[in-house]
Amino acid sequence: MAAGKPDFIALDWNGTVVPFFGLGPYSGALETAASWREDGCLVFVVSRAGQGTVERDVQRTGLAHDGVFGCVDKGPVLKDLHARHGDGVFLGDHPSDFRAAAEAGIPFLQAGLEGQPLLEGADGCFRGWEEAALLVATLWGISEAPS
């Protein structure tokens, strides 16, 4: 992985950006995603939900993004994003998210926003969105998180 920044950042929805559909986003999630986009990273939402359901909820929150994918299996979607856009990272909260990132060959950062224990083999675990920005920066050898 080259130093600089990832080409894309993929986000799980429930448990990562919002606790659950219809609820407000975790503190700092919207601002962090917006700063990644301002720094030239593509931001995608990849959720195990129906396309319309996740699109409406993402729109409701106002999350800045470059695409939303509702799917049954996240692995092929992440693999396609990796093939189309280059190096990326997936932020999610569930063991199935970790497996999907591994299938796609990209790093996985676990959202531990509800105090979940670290999944063995994850590339990091964040307890808040400021920490997520620092972990992404660290993965790419950046000395500080985006502003």
Give the span between the Cα atoms of 56 and 60, in whole angstroms. 6
pLDDT digits (tens, 9 = 90+) for 5-34: 899 999 999 999 999 999 999 999 999 999
pLDDT digits (tens, 9 = 90+) for 82-107: 999 999 999 999 999 999 999 999 99
Q: Does domain 8-139 have CATH number 3.30.70.120?
A: no
Q: CB–CB of 6/137 below 8 Å?
A: no
